[in-house]
């Protein structure tokens, strides 16, 4: 069950040095952001959290998959997810975010909300137009239908209205 509190790190509960945390991410994370691109998500997230006096380092390790719709054949495809990234949280005066991998939070703050950060890290893994690696992996029936429609449109273009022929002659002059 998706709960926002699972994506919040309570600084006061961290001990100095290395801490570990784990999350199982599913489609509900994307639904929280009204993103319907992924049909299914199953990603294990391991976080190594290193707390020091002035900073908290969070090392993320994503491992799993997303099921998406292929942009070529409209069937389901699996996108493997295996990536590592890091976020550096520093204590300071403002909420400025000088770098994508760095956040500055006020001295007295007790929580680090990672919900949007984790969503964005997974979201950027989705290609603009997801497709199977090769056309052989696509749904054969759909590919054949698309190719058939292309042939029909070429045949339709061959029977041009005679009035357009006059315009073509003007263009070719």
pLDDT digits (tens, 9 = 90+) for 42-96: 999 999 999 998 899 999 999 999 999 998 888 999 999 999 999 999 888 765 5
The predicted pLDDT at position 93 comes to 75
The predicted pLDDT at position 106 comes to 81
If one counts every other C-beta atom within 10 angstroms of the C-beta of residue 26, the result is: 16
The predicted pLDDT at position 84 comes to 97
Largest CA distance in the chain: 82
- Establish how many alpha carbons lie within 13 A of residue 171's alpha carbon, considering only the half-sphere containing its beta carbon: 5
Q: Report the percentage of the chain scoring pLDDT > 70.
A: 86
Partners of residue 105 on adjacent β-strands: 91
Mean pLDDT of the chain: 86
Where do the H-state alpha helices sit in 2-96? 27-32
Q: Output phi, psi for 152, to 5 deg.
A: -60, -40
Cα–Cα dist 101/87, whole Å: 5
């Amino acid at each position: 069950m998706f709960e926002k509190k699972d994506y919040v790190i309570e600084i006061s509960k961290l001990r100095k040095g290395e801490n570990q945390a784990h999350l199982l991410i599913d489609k509900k994370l994307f639904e929280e952001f009204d993103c319907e691109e992924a049909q299914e998500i199953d990603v294990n997230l391991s976080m190594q959290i290193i707390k020091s006096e002035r900073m908290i380092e969070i090392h993320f390790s994503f491992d799993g998959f997303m099921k998406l719709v292929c942009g070529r054949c409209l069937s389901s495809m699996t996108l493997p997810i295996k990536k590592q990234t890091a976020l550096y949280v520093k204590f300071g005066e403002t909420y400025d975010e000088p770098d994508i991998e760095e956040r500055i939070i006020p001295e007295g703050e007790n929580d680090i909300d990672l919900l949007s950060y984790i969503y964005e890290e997974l979201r950027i893994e989705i290609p603009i137009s997801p497709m199977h690696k090769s056309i052989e992996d696509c749904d054969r029936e759909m590919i054949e239908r698309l190719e058939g429609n292309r042939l029909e449109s070429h045949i339709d273009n061959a029977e041009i209205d005679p009035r357009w022929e006059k315009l073509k002659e003007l263009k070719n002059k």
